[in-house]
Amino acid sequence: MNVIAIYDIGKTNKKVFLFNENYQIVWEKSVQFKEIEDEDGFPCEDVDLLKNWILEEFTAIKQLKQYVLKAINFSTYGASFVYVDEEGIPLTPLYNYLKEYPVELKNQFYDKYKGEEAFAVKTASPVLGSLNSGMQIYRIKEESPVLFEKVKYCLNLPQYLSSLFSKEYFTDITSIGCHTNLWNFNKNKYHKWLKKENILDKIAPLHYGQHIVEDENGLAIGAGLHDSSSAMIPYTISFKEPFVLLSTGTWSISLNPFNDQRLTFEELQNDCLCYMQYTEQPVKAARLFSGHEHEIQVERLALHFNQPLDSFKTVVYDKVIIDELRKKTNTLAEVDVVVLLKESAFAKRRLSDFDSYETGYHQLIMDLVDQQVVSTNMVIHNSPVMKLFVDGGFSKNNIFMNLLADVYPELEVYAASMAQASALGAALAIHDNWNSKPVKENLIDLKRY
């Protein structure tokens, strides 16, 4: 059986899958690693442990007699650079994008390059400190110039993993075009600060998502993709009518590949940004920390009503409860949008106002949907969207899905599910280089609300 191996590397879970030519998972493995500490004692990925695991799994896969390995690709979390020397050996820890960024250095940078507002608009990057991964490169250059001199290439994590097999060094547009401060979206090229700071030479050549390097055994090696962009690929391949994908988890991210309007500074301040697709088309996106908020508030509800933490899983959508709550509680029109995006109204509600856990939980989801609508509308605005797909945790929540469908009567609203979207996207990106079969149409299971 011909297969492709996909390494799907999240911050917590590291997975490897084998997909057959019909894009069904036929084999998989998952592992978690303990973090180590960088020189400042901040937790970070153990890149050597990750590398060794990847190579060991590759050896094991090649020994599976029932499969013929035709290709390999990589989907990983973003905002992380591996700084390699001439031999491709990492010179530093894989710094954590959650690490605090020095305020003085941040101010120095933005003062030099026309201020936060102008810079953020050009690069479609909200000001996020270390999460703007280009700022990590700037920090090393400024704080450790001797070390920086030894750096041959600053590789995004997917491209570092690809180089372990291809021995070639590339940069990928999905990793660069994602709140990195590196890409000028207005001019569709690197921002000029990279040249001014003598960093551009340390960025490997761009290599596009559909292209591969072939090794001496004929194995097609992909250059790797940023996981958020990779997860879009099954949708852009399956649906041609304009749509928005609401990808839900800890963060709920509204992604609109049919909106090419430039971001305003106000949108950037409200957590809008741009992702770049592997086809080099920008995707307008808006982030909301709603999965995290849900986690906090269901804990609060469980404590107040003396219920198990996961009681929300058995609460069923009840229109009577919704109608009663709507008579009592404030509407969106009464709430400041900026405040609403920062925290849900539920955080300030008195739980003693609710006569049962079920009623309180319905109110929580109503408040989260109010937030979600404001966030999603920022990417729907000025685009001909016809469908709204929801995947991830909230797609399984029938209260959330029914309320969302109520708000968007003009759209077809679907709960979408598929196994391992970002891994599947990385396999589909290089389809033509390993798979002679056409891509089947039913990659995604849909339920309309």
Give me the phi and psi of 347, to 5 degrees please: -60, -25
For 341-353, how does the pLDDT look when each residue is reduced to its tens digit (9 = 90+)? 777 889 999 999 9
CA–CA distance, 25 with 18 (Å, rounded to integer) = 6
- Tell whether the model's pLDDT for residue 45 goes beyond 60: yes
Tell me the mean pLDDT in the region 66-76. Answer: 97
CATH number at 236-417: 3.30.420.40
* Token reading at 79: 């905002």
2-223 and 236-417, same CATH topology: yes
- Of the ranges 45-49, 236-240, 338-342, which is most confident? 45-49
Tell me the mean pLDDT in the region 235-261. Answer: 90
Neighbours of 320 (CB within 10 A): 8
* Token reading at 385: 């969207």
- Tell whether the model's pLDDT for residue 395 goes beyond 60: yes
Tell me the mean pLDDT in the region 425-441. Answer: 94
The answer to whether 75 touches 158, Cβ cutoff 8 Å, is: yes
The answer to whether 33 touches 390, Cβ cutoff 8 Å, is: no
Give me the phi and psi of 92, to 5 degrees please: -140, 170
Identify the sign of the CA torsion 373, 299, 131, 161: negative
For 142-156, how does the pLDDT look when each residue is reduced to its tens digit (9 = 90+)? 999 999 999 999 999
Q: Output the pLDDT for position 270.
A: 84
CA–CA distance, 284 with 302 (Å, rounded to integer) = 36
- Tell whether the model's pLDDT for residue 367 goes beyond 70: yes
pTM of the model as a whole: 0.86
Q: Output the pLDDT for position 49.
A: 97
CA–CA distance, 94 with 90 (Å, rounded to integer) = 9
Q: Output the pLDDT for position 382.
A: 80
Identify the sign of the CA torsion 395, 399, 402, 407: negative
CA–CA distance, 350 with 65 (Å, rounded to integer) = 61
CA–CA distance, 122 with 191 (Å, rounded to integer) = 8
Q: Output the pLDDT for position 192.
A: 97
Q: Output the pLDDT for position 338.
A: 66
Residue 268 or residue 397, greater confidence: 397
For 270-299, how does the pLDDT look when each residue is reduced to its tens digit (9 = 90+)? 888 888 888 888 889 998 989 989 999 999
Q: What is the mean pLDDT of the chain?
A: 93
β-partners of residue 164 are: none
* Token reading at 54: 């990847």
Task: Enumerate the domain spans of the chain.
Answer: 2-223, 236-417
Cα 316 from chain centroid (whole Å): 30
Superfamily of 2-223 according to CATH? ATPase, nucleotide binding domain (3.30.420.40)
CA–CA distance, 94 with 433 (Å, rounded to integer) = 31
- Tell whether the model's pLDDT for residue 260 goes beyond 80: no
